[in-house]
Amino acid sequence: MMEIINKFKGKGFKLTPQRLSILKFLDGNTSHPTAEDIFKALKKTHPTVSFATVYNTVQALRDRGELQEITIDPEKKHFDPNTAPHHHIMCTACKRVEDVFADYSSALQLPENVSKNFAVSGNHVDFYGICKKCRS
């Protein structure tokens, strides 16, 4: 917990008990939770936490570059505490999202009429399919 406190201390991010519990929940989390997922998980141990607190906290973290907002699911925003460049795959049956750590930059060729007007600084590829569990 001290590592989390030290990471955000002095960055203009008020560390309330509710925010600390959100940060602890997100630390190393690879499940790509939605704000609702975070709220439901925290409500068990912090019955006074509000959905607004969770939502505002994830938005503040996103705005500070500490959390990646994933829009792979058109129905819900998911959040990823791993801000290193990577891609995602979503099961279209159960909606589970997983990380894909591969560099596709050399495989992607933009049309010349696009590349001449932009200096590309990154990319993000979303994959969709049916996971092994849902196929069985």
Confidence category of residue 119, pLDDT binned at 50, 70, 90: confident
Report the percent of the chain where pLDDT is more than 90: 60
Task: Kindly report the CATH number assigned to the domain that includes residue 102.
Answer: 3.30.1490.190
Does residue 102 share a domain with residue 73? no
pLDDT for the residue numbered 92:
95
Instruction: Please tell me whether residues 11 and 73 are part of one structural domain.
Output: yes
Q: What is the SS3 string spanning the chain?
A: CHHHHHHHCCCCCCCCHHHHHHHHHHCCCCCCCCHHHHHHHHHCCCCCCCHHHHHHHHHHHHHCCCCEEECCCCCCCEEECCCCCCEEEEECCCCCEEEECCCCCCCCCCCHHHHCCCCCCCCCCEEEECCHHHHC
Question: Do both 6 and 48 map to the same domain?
Answer: yes
| pLDDT per residue as tens digits for the range 72-102 | 998 899 999 999 989 999 999 999 999 999 8
Residue 54 has pLDDT above 80, yes or no: yes
